Amino acid sequence: MKAEIIAVGSELLTPDRVDTNSLFLTEELNKLGIEVVRKSIVGDNRDTLSAAFKEAMERVELIIASGGLGPTEDDLTRETVADLLGRKLHLNHEILRYIEGRFRQLGREMPAVNVRQAMVPEGAEVLENPRGSAPGLWIEDAGHFIALLPGPPRELKPMYQERVLPRLLRRSSKVRMFHRELRVAGLGESGVEQRIRPIYTRYTDVNTTILAAPGEIQIHLRMWTDDAAHAQKTLDEIAQGFEIALADRIFSQDGSSMEEVVASLLTRNNSTISAAESCTGGLLAQRLTSIAGSSSYFLGGVVSYSNELKTAWADVPAELIQTKGAVSSEVAIALAEGIRRQVGSTLGVGITGIAGPGGGSEEKPVGTVHIALSHAGGVKERGVVFPGDREAIRWHASQLALDLVRIHFLYNGGEPPSRIAKRA
Amino acid sequence: MKAEIIAVGSELLTPDRVDTNSLFLTEELNKLGIEVVRKSIVGDNRDTLSAAFKEAMERVELIIASGGLGPTEDDLTRETVADLLGRKLHLNHEILRYIEGRFRQLGREMPAVNVRQAMVPEGAEVLENPRGSAPGLWIEDAGHFIALLPGPPRELKPMYQERVLPRLLRRSSKVRMFHRELRVAGLGESGVEQRIRPIYTRYTDVNTTILAAPGEIQIHLRMWTDDAAHAQKTLDEIAQGFEIALADRIFSQDGSSMEEVVASLLTRNNSTISAAESCTGGLLAQRLTSIAGSSSYFLGGVVSYSNELKTAWADVPAELIQTKGAVSSEVAIALAEGIRRQVGSTLGVGITGIAGPGGGSEEKPVGTVHIALSHAGGVKERGVVFPGDREAIRWHASQLALDLVRIHFLYNGGEPPSRIAKRA
């Protein structure tokens, strides 16, 4: 079964509000093997609202709409759908009594406008709403299922779970969606595409999406089938193919973030880490400590923007800064080694660079970053020129620093990154 | 003129991603008096994509699409629109050379797939993209204007401003939208609503929206008119009313962020700052250094997670930690004074707290945070219990720390916060 979601409300066509009900609904529908093929957001306008339902009915079996069931003049979903389907609206006395009761409980009389909420299209089933005054509606029409739900998430979510889900379960097939997400660092979108294309194109029953996110590429595999074992086997096979094609560039096979992967490696290897940052300004420390329980592996870090503090906090010799420049591989190494010694951690990271927009030169343009990782066996250093603006450069630098830690555990002893339990 | 926005990408039909480009585009179009009457979100599927464009062309003059211009097989916007309009695609050698050049700069060869991005429909105008490889396209067809923009916001936004806006300005009416955004810290949504409601309800021609964002409340005022002077006068009047009602809780009248406001205060007062953070783990330093030119006011900071490093880097007496606990007003004050002394900055901030999910106790529950600001005239301390999860607690703590700096300049001498030039 395929579905479309229609969000109704002029406030959703302003710059301030985004429809989030559809994320919840999509997740729920996907679990039942129902694919959402389109989402529409329309204002409180009879014509565009009607067009949205009409078009959706031409394409899909299931339509779920949110919003526009309120008591005021601009709440048009009920009337518009009844009109479109050629069904009359009748006053439902039971609903009316319920709404009147709600107002009585609040010590108020029901305003006359609320009568609208008790109007039900011929043949529609009423979806009770214990959390608000607007009931939902379920309509079956010529092979279509239409659910009209209230807009507030705290009313919509339980109504879906309690009233819509049971109806869908009776009708949905046994097909379910199986999903796998892999994340890749250190390669661009087209680089990833080129390497994995020969693999995924062999699987015509699997949908592969490649997404660029800051500092990483995400690969989503989605498969729709009623055979769970077959799905797991197929997705495993593809993931193994990708592992060969992308080698150590895959950092996550379960959608976990780079900081989560690094946190788990540090924990499982009983290692601690410290950081001396310049251009990233605390971003690396902030990412390392964003994970619950980070105090077990992160002892501390310094943000040494000034040269004096590089010397005071991370023992970087002042002459080194003078001769090589604050942005140099030598200073990155000194920062990493100095902070590791100062803190007494297993690993030490040093980052120095030019995040811009000012401060660049011909020799060291904006985006130049040196990152070093100091460990018991020595030190590793990488110099890069990142593209993009200040925010992008800082993010990329923190991502590469985390990736160096990950790669360290991959090759310099330590337990290899786990095959984290794969999500279906 | 009316517009529809089409967001393209199967990832936008998953539970993981929400289209945010349309918020930016709506705001920009509204400024020109162009109303957005519908938004559609479609996957990387030729049929639904084609239907979305076809339907939109039946309703509106202007269609802006984002996404689907990448180099891979599932990027279909270019081809689909060309097909729908019956226009052939031709290879544009200039674009091809540009894309090849971008890859060369990164030291890589252009993958063959990227040739797709140099294909241009007959009669289309190319919208240059200095921030990415996918150029945008502007097509005029039988009274319709169609803009195809890349999906990444950092490419889409400047392309709109530099390439689409000038084209729309030539064609739009004289009605403009005038917008003012005020930001408020230290008050909740209903608290703000209660104080400003008597003011904004007097202005029936101004649309007022109150939005809760992490650590702040945003108030949007919007007015549609062809009389710019009247709009400015009305919005000034309302903003002045809000200033009386909300007093020093308004930190921004031009939509600038808390870190931008604090950066500007530090710069104009020739002040420097340092930070000793525990539970925020570098978030405060990261926010202070996210602003271009931050090296003029931010000298350095430490993330002293362990007690030993609180002593080593910020001179916090070990006995104090032992007697009062690491999370206490005394330790926050010692961190602030210690880091200020160590760094020699005008101001010093100390933060210590329990971000959770573990580590809470009955006496000091998760969310307990102490923040201190040390300055030449003394020290100020605030103890709070923030609600929410780890991320929310850390964010709120960094926001309150920045707000303490702002309030310091407001009352402890220093130049008062500027009336920053107001945006129309």
**A146 pLDDT more than 90:** yes
**B419 pLDDT more than 70:** no
Q: How many helices (H) and strands (E) does chain A have?
A: 14, 17
* Residues of A with Cβ-Cβ distance to B108 under 8 angstroms: 188, 191
pLDDT at A305: 92
Q: Tell me if residue B210 falls in helix, strand or coil.
A: strand
- Give tens-digit pLDDT for B265-285: 999 999 999 999 999 999 999
- Give tens-digit pLDDT for B197-235: 999 999 999 988 887 788 899 998 989 899 999 999 999
Say what the ipTM of the complex is: 0.80
Lowest-confidence range among B151-155, B185-189, B281-285, B376-380? B185-189
When CB atoms are compared, the residue of A284, A305, A392 closest to B300 is A305
Percent of chain A with pLDDT strictly greater than 70: 97
Question: How far apart (Å, rounded) are the C-alpha atoms in residues A39 and B125?
Answer: 29
- Give tens-digit pLDDT for A32-80: 889 999 999 999 889 999 999 999 999 999 999 999 998 877 889 999 9
With CA atoms as reference, the chain B residue closest to A213 would be B152
Upstream peptide bond of B357 is cis (omega within 30 degrees of 0): yes
Collect all residues with Cβ–Cβ distance below 8 Å to B305 and sequence separation of at least 6: A289, A294, A295, A298, A299, A300, B278, B281
Chain mean position to CA A190: 21
Rounded (5°) CA angle A201-A202-A203: 90
Which secondary-structure segment (H or E) carries B219?
Answer: strand B216-225
When CB atoms are compared, the residue of A19, A299, A304 closest to B300 is A304
CA distance A247 to chain B (A): 19
Residue B110 contacts residue A228 (beta carbons within 8 Å): no
pLDDT band at B416 (very low <50, low <70, confident <90, very high): very low
With CA atoms as reference, the chain A residue closest to B219 would be A16
Question: How far apart (Å, rounded) are the C-alpha atoms in residues B297 and B268?
Answer: 10
Percent of chain B with pLDDT strictly greater than 70: 97
Collect all residues with Cβ–Cβ distance below 8 Å to A89 and sequence separation of at least 6: A78, A79, A82, A119, A120, A121, A122
pLDDT band at B369 (very low <50, low <70, confident <90, very high): very high
pLDDT at A112: 84
With CA atoms as reference, the chain B residue closest to A280 would be B286
State mean pLDDT over A270-274.
97
pLDDT band at A104 (very low <50, low <70, confident <90, very high): confident
Contact between B303 and A304 using a beta-carbon 8 Å cutoff:
no
CA distance B130 to chain A (A): 10
Domains of chain B: 2-169 (3.40.980.10), 176-252 (3.30.70.2860), 258-411 (3.90.950.20)
Pairing of strands B250-252, A119-121: unpaired
Contact between A303 and B304 using a beta-carbon 8 Å cutoff:
no
**A120 pLDDT more than 90:** yes
When CB atoms are compared, the residue of B26, B72, B111 closest to A210 is B72
pLDDT at B133: 79
Q: Tokens for B105, please give them.
A: 């700069």
Chain mean position to CA B355: 24
Q: Tokens for A300, please give them.
A: 């501390």
Contact between A285 and B294 using a beta-carbon 8 Å cutoff:
no
* Residues of B with Cβ-Cβ distance to A52 under 8 angstroms: 38
What does pLDDT average to over chain A?
Answer: 92
pLDDT at A312: 95
pLDDT band at B420 (very low <50, low <70, confident <90, very high): very low
Contact between A303 and B303 using a beta-carbon 8 Å cutoff:
yes
> Of A376, A274, A362, A276, nearest to A316 (Cα)?
A276
Collect all residues with Cβ–Cβ distance below 8 Å to A74 and sequence separation of at least 6: A10, A44
**A275 pLDDT more than 90:** yes
**B21 pLDDT more than 70:** yes
pLDDT at B346: 97
With CA atoms as reference, the chain A residue closest to B288 would be A281
When CB atoms are compared, the residue of B12, B113, B358 closest to A292 is B358
With CA atoms as reference, the chain B residue closest to A39 would be B41
Q: How many residues in chain B?
A: 424
Question: How far apart (Å, rounded) are the C-alpha atoms in residues A325 and A308?
Answer: 13
State mean pLDDT over A145-158.
94
pLDDT at B278: 97
Instruction: Write the DSSP string, B85-124.
Output: TT--EEE-HHHHHHHHHHHHHTT-PPPGGGGGGGEEETTP
* Residues of A with Cβ-Cβ distance to B304 under 8 angstroms: 300
Cβ-Cβ contacts under 8 Å between A and B: the total is 226
What does pLDDT average to over chain B?
Answer: 92
Residue A163 contacts residue A138 (beta carbons within 8 Å): yes
pLDDT band at A413 (very low <50, low <70, confident <90, very high): low
pLDDT band at B413 (very low <50, low <70, confident <90, very high): low
State mean pLDDT over B234-244.
96
**B260 pLDDT more than 50:** yes
Phi-psi region of A122 (alpha: psi -120 to 50; beta: other; left: phi over 0): beta
Contact between B302 and A301 using a beta-carbon 8 Å cutoff:
yes
pLDDT at B170: 87
- Give tens-digit pLDDT for B70-123: 888 889 999 999 999 999 999 999 999 999 988 888 778 888 889 999 999 999
CA distance B355 to chain A (A): 8
When CB atoms are compared, the residue of B71, B152, B282 closest to A282 is B282
* Residues of B with Cβ-Cβ distance to A392 under 8 angstroms: 154
**CA distances to A214, A257, B34, B109 from A186, in Å:** 11, 14, 42, 15
Contact between A191 and B111 using a beta-carbon 8 Å cutoff:
yes
Contact between A295 and B302 using a beta-carbon 8 Å cutoff:
no
Rounded (5°) CA angle A278-A279-A282: 70
pLDDT at B74: 85
* Residues of B with Cβ-Cβ distance to A193 under 8 angstroms: 71-72, 111, 113
When CB atoms are compared, the residue of B45, B114, B282 closest to A190 is B114
CA distance B357 to chain A (A): 6
Q: Any bridge partners for residue A348, and if so which? A: A274, A374
